Amino acid sequence: MEIFVRKLLVVGLLAIGCLTGCVTNRPGEPLARKGDEIMVAGQLFHTGTRVVLWTDPGGYDAYRTERRFSPMDKSSYEATSKEVKDINSPNRYGMRRSVLTDEEAQLVRGGGWPLSLLQQKVDQFVIHYDVAGTSKMCFLVLHDMRDLSVQFMCDIDGTIYQTLDLKERAWHATRSNSRSVGVEVANMGAYRPSESISVLKEWYAKDAQNHPIITIPKRFIDRLGEPITYTKNFQGRPARPNLIEGEINGQMYRQYDFTPEQYAALTRLTATLCTVLPKITCDVPRDAKGHVINHVLPDAQFEKYQGVMGHWHVQKEKQDPGPAFDFDKLITGARDLMSVHAGVVNREERGHPVTTPATITMAQQNMEKPVAKKTMGK
């Protein structure tokens, strides 16, 4: 009789919980991801574009101390430090110490970043090109060869790879590291007109219309193995067919454009970051006429700047993401996503029933509720 009463009590409590909406998920019930989420201070936010986390099969894990693309028996930090002169630390990331008070540093040193604190500290989104051609090669260079890191990589097929939680200080853009998030966009880079462009001829074949097609050299495929990109048999093309020239930090450069898939993914990632981390203003450094500034920001301007930027805005010797990168296209697209959502929220606040458009990310919804030589720096 006692057992029967207990069962009735459990059933009754479950029924009450279902009616009140207070029942949590069953113990051991898996929570499915959609596959478009980024991780920010331990929380997942939707972006609306494919994201592969470091915890996913095929992801790139910057938390690991061993090399990703070396034989297992030679991949440890001990073996690596003997074979690779630039690897002098088991970690490829650190704490955002320079923007934290002593009390805040004690709070987060165990990994416990409140989202609200990260939102106060991170106010820049730095865009790079990787001069590696693909995200797979980019991670090999950063992690296995250079003791560096970046929070995101964007491959030629538009796949976003996240290697670290955004609470971590990645080593990608020197003086911006403690206050920024970075993305390495797969592209073979920009070159001065006087320089040989044999690398571009190797990476960009021409179709019947004489338009460029991305062709990954066989030696990279042999070294890294298949698949190179998340999308099998992906055939990438620059968004614009001609070499694009422009001046950056006092030098002229020419470069092939990024792929349409990369622009689409980066637009959604930018809209999400500017929403989840609202001190990242959805704009780039501009001059008095509204043109994108094509040189490094002076110290005083850099210290005050909050928003999206190129690596060339951070360091004078940089030119990435290069003259082909269409900042206006990126910012306009990201603002459109954010403004559509803002309109949805305003209508809801006025009492109008609204179905959220598929173009609006869950990250934004959640926030409303409560030479082409590539060098980087720590």
Q: Is 20 part of any domain?
A: no
Q: Is 27 part of any domain?
A: no
Distance CA 121, CA 46 (A): 21
Q: Pick the residue with more confidence: 102 or 16?
A: 102
* Structural domain count, the chain: 1
Percent pLDDT > 90 in the chain is 75
pLDDT for position 1: 55
Q: Any idea what the Cα angle at residue 65 is, between residues 262 and 162, rounded to 5°?
A: 20
> 362 pLDDT band (50/70/90 cuts)?
very low
Task: Return the CATH number at 182.
Answer: 3.40.80.10
Q: Is 17 part of any domain?
A: no
Distance CA 89, CA 83 (A): 13
pLDDT digits (tens, 9 = 90+) for 55-68: 999 999 999 999 99
pLDDT digits (tens, 9 = 90+) for 115-161: 999 999 999 999 999 999 999 999 999 999 999 999 999 999 999 99
Q: What mean pLDDT is predicted for residues 226-247?
A: 95
pLDDT for position 354: 33
* Number of Cβ within a 10 Å radius of residue 207: 11
Q: Is 347 part of any domain?
A: yes
- CA distances for 147 relative to 30, 33, 80, 139, angstroms: 35, 31, 10, 10
Q: Phi/psi of residue 265, each to 5°?
A: -70, -45
Q: Is 3 part of any domain?
A: no
Q: Is the pLDDT of residue 345 over 80?
A: no
Q: Is 15 part of any domain?
A: no
pLDDT for position 378: 72
Q: Is 1 part of any domain?
A: no
Q: Is the pLDDT of residue 52 over 60?
A: yes
DSSP 170-210: ESSSGGGGGGEEEEEE-----B-TTS--HHHHHHEEE-TTS
pLDDT for position 18: 52
Q: Any residues with CB less than 8 A from the CB of 264 and at least 6 apart, and which?
A: 49, 158
| Residue 42, phi-psi category: left (phi > 0), alpha (psi -120 to 50), beta (remainder) | left
Report CA torsion sign: 42, 92, 179, 289.
negative
Q: Is the pLDDT of residue 270 over 90?
A: yes
Pick from 5-9, 273-277, 347-351 the range whose average pLDDT is largest: 273-277
Q: What mean pLDDT is predicted for residues 33-54?
A: 96
- CA distances for 368 relative to 116, 283, 308, 345, 359, angstroms: 14, 20, 21, 8, 16
pLDDT for position 141: 95
pLDDT for position 163: 98
Q: Is 97 part of any domain?
A: yes
In sequence order, what are the beta bridge partners of 44? 39
**Torsion angle defined by CA atoms of residues 296, 301, 305 and 310, in that order, rounded to the nearest 10 degrees:** 0
pLDDT for position 367: 33
pLDDT digits (tens, 9 = 90+) for 272-296: 999 999 999 999 999 999 999 999 9
Contact assessment for residue 97 and residue 105, using Cβ atoms and an 8 Å cutoff:
yes
Write out the residue range of the structural domain in which residue 197 sits.
Answer: 33-368
pLDDT for position 229: 96
Q: Is the pLDDT of residue 17 over 70?
A: no
Q: Phi/psi of residue 336, each to 5°?
A: -60, -45
Q: What is the mean pLDDT of the chain?
A: 87
